[in-house]
């Protein structure tokens, strides 16, 4: 099992190019099932989760061609099955987004209940309620969601009880081929929802309101082939900005979309960073030594993203002052706290949803263990500012969501090595 060895104490600086967004690429790969014609996706990140989704498409009989630059062509005309097996879906929650496209195109779907990071129950009831409102017959049997289109999906007005990104994506895709108009109320507003809508529109879908809490989808008879470029990864952008800020450095990040990160950039400014940005770039420099402690509270977009909570908590661990980090989206998302405390941080939990961080001047390297995707990078950030060496185990979590992590960190001046079966790679 791979480990990451981080030698701390170096100030990160330089330029970095951001990869395509994982949280956008995965549902868009699922959306290619809606067309019998080829769909070409560009700027797809080379990640384990993307490989898993491509494997799942293969299980459904779909041919996928990937070139050397990770441009992905999906030949949906070869779709031959409707069963997404447990063996694949259990490893990645986003696999569940094939449910809507399969039901809309194939008329039937058998999809295992999802797995992924252990950060709370994250139920799929809103997905299933919405599909039932479109006329689908849905049952859960032996760990699988089994659904048929009831003779043809029909548009409906769907009010989701809670805002759900995956539910919004599944229902958008199912409604794209439904008869009539579907209106999703209390829909997710995340930029990845907008990116999915733009891809579907390129394929011939009629969608409006994406980026607001009310999305309208006018169903069409079929979707055609298209080309689409995956948006830049806002979580990767924010993660590296936080890492650079924690080390007191400076960075220019290119091929980014900073307007999707307003809440994070505001908090970084409050912590003492100087932020400048353009249409596709953002720069950060620290004008002082230690950052200032900043309170954060996660919320659905455009609030502070839950996927940035762990990273900012790591920055607060070495900040001047006391801060409170409140998690409102997922339960059980403070598993990284005991690991960061192993490095000498002073973090205490108040119940299940709030961490109180008393900033310390120094952290010290120690062996730690990654617990989930975003928490994994919080340990990297803590290791980057710690004195000595930090050895991070179970970094397969990191590889699910961050492309070429050690290469990008070394590019910024970090001392990071991957240990593969006893062998180190820079």
* Number of Cα atoms under 13 Å in the Cβ half of residue 352: 8
Cα–Cα distance, 71 to 292 (Å, whole number): 41
> Cis omega (within 30 of 0) on the bond before 302?
yes
Q: Alpha helices, DSSP H only, in 253-354?
A: 262-270, 309-317, 337-341
Q: What is the largest CA-CA distance in the chain?
A: 65
Q: Which of 59, 82, 117, 199 is catalytic?
A: 117
- Do residues 326 and 298 make contact, with C-beta atoms less than 8 angstroms apart? yes
CB atoms within 10 A of CB 61: 13
* Rounded alpha-carbon distances, angstroms, from residue 71 to 45, 67, 230, 315: 9, 6, 10, 35
Cα–Cα distance, 205 to 268 (Å, whole number): 38
Inter-axis angle of helices 309-317 and 373-385, nearest 10: 20
Cα–Cα distance, 207 to 405 (Å, whole number): 36
Long-range contacts made by residues 63-71, C-beta under 8 angstroms, separation at least 24?
Answer: 70/43, 70/44, 70/45, 70/46, 71/40, 71/41, 71/42, 71/44
CB atoms within 10 A of CB 192: 26
DSSP for 217-246, written as a single string: EE--S-B--EEEEPPB-HHHHHHHHHHHHH
Residue 117 is a catalytic residue: yes
Cα–Cα distance, 258 to 256 (Å, whole number): 6
Q: 3-class DSSP state for residue 303? A: coil
List active site positions: 117
């Amino acid at each position: 099992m791979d480990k990451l060895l981080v030698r701390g104490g170096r100030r990160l600086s330089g330029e970095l190019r951001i990869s395509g967004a994982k949280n956008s690429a995965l549902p868009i790969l699922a959306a290619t099932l809606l067309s019998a014609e080829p769909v070409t996706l560009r700027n797809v990140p080379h990640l384990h989760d993307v490989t898993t989704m491509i494997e799942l498409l293969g299980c459904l009989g779909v041919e996928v061609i990937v070139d050397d630059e990770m441009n992905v062509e999906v030949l949906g005309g070869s779709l031959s099955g409707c069963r997404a097996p447990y063996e694949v879906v259990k490893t990645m929650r986003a696999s569940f987004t094939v449910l809507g496209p399969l039901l809309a195109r194939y008329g039937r779907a058998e999809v295992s209940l999802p797995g992924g990071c252990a950060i709370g129950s994250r139920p799929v009831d809103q997905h299933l309620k919405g599909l039932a409102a479109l006329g689908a017959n849905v049952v859960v049997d032996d760990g699988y969601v089994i659904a048929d289109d009831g003779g043809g999906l029909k548009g409906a007005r769907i009010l989701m009880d809670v805002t759900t990104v995956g539910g919004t994506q599944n229902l958008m895709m199912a409604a794209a081929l439904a008869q009539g108009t579907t209106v999703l109320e209390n829909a997710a507003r995340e930029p990845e929802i907008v990116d999915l809508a733009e891809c579907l529109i390129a394929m011939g879908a009629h969608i409006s309101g994406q980026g607001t809490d009310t999305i309208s989808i006018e169903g069409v008879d079929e979707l055609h082939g298209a080309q689409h470029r995956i948006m830049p990864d806002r979580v990767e952008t924010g993660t590296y900005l936080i890492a650079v800020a924690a080390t007191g450095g400076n960075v220019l990040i290119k091929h980014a979309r900073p307007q999707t990160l307003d809440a994070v950039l505001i908090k970084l400014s409050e912590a003492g960073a100087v932020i400048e940005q353009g249409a596709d770039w953002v720069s950060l420099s620290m004008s002082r030594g230690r950052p200032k402690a900043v309170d954060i509270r996660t919320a659905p977009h455009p609030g502070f993203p839950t996927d940035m909570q762990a990273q900012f908590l790591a920055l607060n661990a070495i900040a001047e002052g006391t801060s409170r980090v409140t998690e409102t989206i997922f339960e059980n998302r403070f598993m990284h706290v005991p690991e960061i405390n192993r490095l000498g941080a002073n973090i205490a939990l108040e119940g299940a949803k709030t961490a109180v961080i008393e900033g310390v001047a120094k952290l010290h390297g120690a062996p730690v263990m990654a617990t989930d995707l975003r928490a994994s990078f919080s340990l990297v950030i803590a290791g980057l500012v710690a004195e000595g060496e930090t050895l991070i185990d179970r970094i397969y979590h990191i590889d699910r969501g961050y492309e070429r992590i050690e290469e990008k960190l070394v590019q910024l001046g970090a001392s990071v090595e991957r240990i593969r079966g006893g062998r180190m790679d820079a």
